[in-house]
Amino acid sequence: MRRLIENRFGMLALVLIALGAVYGVAFVSRPAPAVPVKAEPVRAPIAAVSTVCPDPGGAMVTAVTPPNAEGTGQTLIEDGDEPATVDEPGKLWQKTMAAGTDPMRVHATGAMASGLEAAQTRRTLTGAARGLAGVRCVDPGADAWFVGPGPAAGDLELHLANVESAPADVALVVYSGEGQVIAERASGLLLKPGEHRVVDLKKVAPSPLVMALNVSTGRGRVAAAVEAATPEGVDWLPQTTGPAERVVVPGLPGSAGRRELYVAAPGESDAVVDVKAVLKDGSYALENRETVEVPAGSVVTLDLSTGVTGQPAAIVLTSETPVVAGLKIVGTGGRTDVAFTAGAPPIDLGSVVADARSTKDVTSRLILSAPDTAADVTVTLLPREGKAPDPIEVAIPAARTKEIILKGPAKGFSVVVMPKTGSGPVYGGRVMEERAAGGQLVTAQPLAVARTWTLVPPVTEQPSAVLSQPS
């Protein structure tokens, strides 16, 4: 050893051998490139839901919680002086309210919150307000979008309710066919806690024939809903998904009548929107209406009647610029009624429709579309009385739409749509039609994600959150 160290090359050789050994150790111990594991969000039952029925006067209000969560809970329906409580999942609570009832808050906690759904449906057979007008009771939020006919085409009323304990500062932005409407009265609406107000949109923007409306709050939250009374009929405009590059408008029924699509580009740049219809037998671009150009800040109408009337459908819009979209369904007959559907999210976590009926005159249709990949769903009916029928399994091939005529107890029922594990994204809508003297009554509601589950994101405590991540 000593001689080795004292020899000049011996030392060099020793060192080189050692370095080689270290290299070997480092080489062998080097792990394979790790695939970054993305932690998936976890489903968790919703623990509390608060929803507001905007104008229940003269309408039938339905509230239901599907029986899917364990434990106890309570639903509190703040029906004026005589609040009702429900603590049994799967049981429908239905009541026709007296005219002039204030907005009604439905609040559920615990197991009763998991999937709570409420809706109001008004059926008027005479007068200017003749028609079926239904709306899903809305969650208070900071941002809501509505797309439909404008104040020049009829009476449009915006129902605002602040059921929170903090005041809400509401601002309205109206987009018309000619561009964004600059209105003085559109902002600075202050709603005190517990206050509700009806805004006549004619006073905000009198001229638009078609409009997209954005209701947002600077602080606080508000429950917003829009009721449209046009010469063609009355209904509520459902809340649509916010501006996105891909919008799916589901729930076009397979019945006759006009279909009119509204597309708005609320951003700074013009949008070129590809329009596709997902029908029973496939997904098609509509002839001569493959694309529609939407100038920045304005709303464009597109008549789809010749393409999709008579077949259940969903409309898929894609654009490089975020757009919002809504659709008008006009019933048949001498005196028409209208219904509105709008852009909706996929119902990955399931969906509940509170109110559906099936009698001699009334037909409830469930329209389910799978625009991307094949989907499998289970449809369960929750009757108001009697035993629940067996769940129906529905398979929707990729890029197809299926319509199910819901057959249930005459007294009314709720519908639970639950995609099976591994199913592709499903969009849907429920349309209720009633044969009435003078013409068909119709109302529609796109399927919203049930308030059953929520995705709990993976969360870690990390002191380095004080720093912005390197981009």
Partner 1 sequence: MHSVTAIVVAHDGSRWLRDTLRAVLAQTRPVDRGVGVDNGSRDGSRDLLGEAFGKHGVVQMPRGSGFAEAVHEVVRRLPKAPGDTEWIWLIHDDCAPDARALEFLLHAADEYPETAVLGPKLRDWLDRKLLLEVGVTVARSGRRETGLEAREYDQGQHDAEPRGVRDVLAVSSAGMLIRRDVWDELGGLDARLPLFRDDLDFCWRARAAGHRVLAVTAAVAWHAEASSKRRRRIAASDDHPRRLARRYSLFVLMANLPFWTMLWSLLRNTVGSLIRTVLFLVAKQPAHAVDELAAIGSVLFHPLRLRRARKARKGSRAGYRLVKPMFSPPSLAFRRAWEMVQNQLSGGGPMDSAGRHHAVRQPGAEEGDELLNDDDGFLRRTFASPGVRLFVLLTAVAIAAERDLLTGGLLGGGALVPVAGGASDLWAFYTGEWAPPYVAVLAVLSTLTFGKTWLAVSILLLGCVPLSGLSAYLATRSFVSYRPARVWMAATYALLPVATGVVAAGRIGSAVVFILLPVYASLATKVLADTRPVSFNRVARRAAWGLGLLLAVGTAFAPILYVFVAVLGLLAALSFGGVRRGVGGNLLISLGVPLLLLGPWLATIVQDPARILREAGLPMTSSPRLAPEALLTLNPGGPGTPPIWATAGLLAVALGALLLRRHQFIVAVGWGVAIVGVLAATVVSRMSTWPGVPLAFAATGLLVSTALAAHRVAEFRRAGGLRKAGAFLIVLVAFATPVAAATLWIMDQADGPLQRNVRSPLPAIAEAQSKPGQGTLLIRTADTGLTYTVLHGRIPVIGESERAAYGSDFTDAVAGLASGRGGGDAAELAGRGIAFVSVPAPIDPALRRALDSEPTMARITLTDRAGLWRMTGPVTPERPPADDTWHRWWLYGQGVLVVIVLILAAPGARTPETEAVEEIPAGRERVAA
Nearer to partner 1, 50 or 298 (CB): 50
Interface with partner 1 (CB under 8 A), residue total: 65
66 is an interface residue for partner 1 by CB under 8 A = no
Please state the closest distance from residue 378 (CB atom) to partner 1, in A.
23
Whether 249 and 344 have beta carbons less than 8 Å apart is answered as yes
How crowded is residue 267: how many other Cβ atoms within 10 Å of its Cβ?
15
142 is an interface residue for partner 1 by CB under 8 A = yes
Nearer to partner 1, 65 or 443 (CB): 65
Please state the closest distance from residue 179 (CB atom) to partner 1, in A.
23
Question: Which range binds partner 1 by CB under 8 A, 81-89, 139-147, 254-262, 327-335?
Answer: 139-147
Nearer to partner 1, 141 or 267 (CB): 141
Whether 295 and 270 have beta carbons less than 8 Å apart is answered as yes
Which amino acid type is present at position 469? Q
Please state the closest distance from residue 23 (CB atom) to partner 1, in A.
5
Which amino acid type is present at position 157? E
Please state the closest distance from residue 345 (CB atom) to partner 1, in A.
11
Site mask for partner 1 (CB under 8 A), range 7-46, x = bound:
-xx-xx--xx-xx--xx-xxx-xxx-xx-xxxx-x--xxx
Please state the closest distance from residue 35 (CB atom) to partner 1, in A.
12
Closest CA to 52 of 142, 140, 117: 140
- Of residues 81 through 120, those in contact with partner 1 by CB under 8 A are 109, 113
6 is an interface residue for partner 1 by CB under 8 A = yes
Q: Which two tokens stand for residue 467?
A: 């720093």
Q: How far is the C-alpha of 149 from the C-alpha of 301, rounded, in Å? A: 10
Q: Give one word for 16, left, alpha or beta, with left for phi > 0 and alpha for psi -120 to 50.
A: alpha
Please state the closest distance from residue 216 (CB atom) to partner 1, in A.
9
Q: How far is the C-alpha of 372 from the C-alpha of 73, rounded, in Å? A: 37
Please state the closest distance from residue 469 (CB atom) to partner 1, in A.
6
Q: b/e for 346-385, b at 16 or more Cβ within 10 A?
A: bbbbbbbbbbbbbeeebbbbbbbbbbbeebbbebbbbbbe
Please state the closest distance from residue 458 (CB atom) to partner 1, in A.
3
Nearer to partner 1, 19 or 98 (CB): 19
Residue of 35, 99, 182, 466 interacting with partner 1 (CB under 8 A):
466
Tokens 């968790």, residue?
44
Nearer to partner 1, 30 or 387 (CB): 30
Closest CA to 253 of 115, 369, 387, 403: 403
Nearer to partner 1, 48 or 398 (CB): 48
Q: How far is the C-alpha of 232 from the C-alpha of 331, rounded, in Å? A: 9
Nearer to partner 1, 14 or 388 (CB): 14
Half-sphere exposure of 220 (CA within 13 A, CB side): 23
Burial class (CB in 10 A: 0-12, 13-18, 19+), 307: buried
Nearer to partner 1, 26 or 437 (CB): 26
Q: Which two tokens stand for residue 160?
A: 């605002």
Question: Which range binds partner 1 by CB under 8 A, 47-55, 86-94, 307-315, 321-329?
Answer: 47-55
End-to-end CA distance of the chain: 54
Nearer to partner 1, 1 or 437 (CB): 1
Site mask for partner 1 (CB under 8 A), range 234-273, x = bound:
--------x-------------------------------
- Of residues 165 through 204, those in contact with partner 1 by CB under 8 A are 165-166
Q: How far is the C-alpha of 106 from the C-alpha of 85, rounded, in Å? A: 10
Residue of 126, 288, 421, 468 interacting with partner 1 (CB under 8 A):
468
Nearer to partner 1, 113 or 325 (CB): 113
Residue of 100, 127, 422, 458 interacting with partner 1 (CB under 8 A):
458
Q: Is the dihedral of CA 214, 208, 130, 448 positive or negative?
A: negative
- Of residues 118 through 137, those in contact with partner 1 by CB under 8 A are none
Q: b/e for 203-230, b at 16 or more Cβ within 10 A?
A: ebbeebebbbbbbbbeebbbbbbbbbbb
Nearer to partner 1, 218 or 391 (CB): 218
Question: Which range binds partner 1 by CB under 8 A, 176-184, 226-234, 251-259, 455-463?
Answer: 455-463
CA-CA distances (angstroms) from residue 295 to 173, 176, 181, 266? 16, 11, 14, 9
Q: Which residue ranges make up the site for partner 1 (CB under 8 A)?
A: 5-6, 8-9, 11-12, 15-16, 18-19, 22-23, 25-27, 29-31, 33-34, 36-39, 41, 44-50, 109, 113, 139-143, 164-166, 217-221, 242, 454-470
